[in-house]
Amino acid sequence: MKKLLTWTIAGLLVLVLSACSANKTNTANVTVPAEKPVSNTPSPDTDTDLEMNYEIKKELFIQDDVRVEYPVIINLKDDAKEKNINELIKDEALETYLKTIRGLESGQKYTAEGSCEIKLKSDRILSIAYSSYNNFTPSAHPYYLFYTTNIDLETGKKLALTDFISEIDGDFINALRQAEYAGKHDQEYAQDIKNNTFDSYASDEDLIDALSQGAANNVFFYVTDKILGISMPVAHVAGDHAEFEIPLSKIKQ
């Protein structure tokens, strides 16, 4: 199972909270004080050259009524790698909003409020989850986005779901169907949301295909030291997205 997860040590969750208010006129980056540094002791499988006692701070992109929070790495041992990773993070964090802003028609107004959460911060892996409230004026109703970025800090590259599991197959689908619902609604609705989510795929093969294509189907994943989370699109009444968390112990490969 663990192609990369065996390289990680106990993950540290760093909750990144909504940023302070700022002017609404021009595009701006508002820097918020960095979180306290974390000293990660390498696991037996970790190359000592990968010791990266870096910090995470957050910045706020503002343009008119769009306010989006994203993390920034500081004090990484490799300055060039730090720069490249931060560019990747920022591009991933803002792409959807910038594309929406560019596509606005005359008379339309777009409002977005986005925050981010660090799901895993280790010497090897950084797993980031983003969520946001979005609304057009005029529009029928607001909508909610959820997406993620997972980065291998050694290579500076994005990680795919298949970097964490050997194969997206029937066994994995069974584990996903038994996963715990971790969305915004109360647990009394969890089973109905799970049923509606998985029943929207005609077959397990269609579900495997959606998971394999990932972001192209609005399917995203994140990791912690204990779970693998899968975010899938659902009906607006169910929250627009729903997260399902699988304990790593339940994943065979």
For the 5-159 domain, the top CATH level (class) is alpha beta
112's tokens: 């977005």
Each residue of 52-99: pLDDT tens digit? 589 999 999 999 999 999 999 999 989 999 999 999 999 999 999 999
Q: What is the mean pLDDT of the chain?
A: 82
Of the ranges 17-31, 54-68, 80-94, 200-214, which one carries the lowest mean pLDDT score? 17-31
Please tell me which residue, 34 or 73, carries the higher pLDDT value. Answer: 73
Is 70 exceeded by the pLDDT of residue 162?
Answer: yes
> Does pLDDT of 173 surpass 50?
yes
More confident residue, 235 or 41: 235
Most confident residue range from 29-33, 45-49, 131-135: 131-135
Would you say residue 211 has pLDDT above 90?
yes
User: Which pLDDT value is given to residue 253?
Assistant: 65
The predicted pLDDT at position 8 comes to 40
Query: Does 12 have pLDDT greater than 90?
Result: no
Say whether pLDDT at 251 is over 50.
yes
DSSP string, the chain: --SSGGG--S---B--PPPPP--SSS-EEEEEPPPPP--PPPPTTS-GGG----EEEEEEEEETTEEEEEEEEES-S-HHHHHHHHHHHHHHHHHHHHHHHHTPPTT-EEEEEEEEEEEEE-SSEEEEEEEEEEEEES-S--EEEEEEEEEETTTTEE--GGGTSS--SHHHHHHHHTSEE-SSS-GGGHHHHHHHHHHTSSSHHHHHHHHHHGGGGT-EEEE-SSEEEEEEE--GGGTSEEEEEEEGGG---
Banded pLDDT at 137 (limits 50, 70, 90): confident
Q: pLDDT at position 52, please?
A: 55
pTM given for the model: 0.78
Mean pLDDT lowest for which of 20-34, 157-171, 175-189, 197-211?
20-34
Q: Could you give the residue range(s) of every CATH 3.30.565.40 domain in the chain?
A: 5-159
Calculate mean pLDDT across residues 24-41: 38
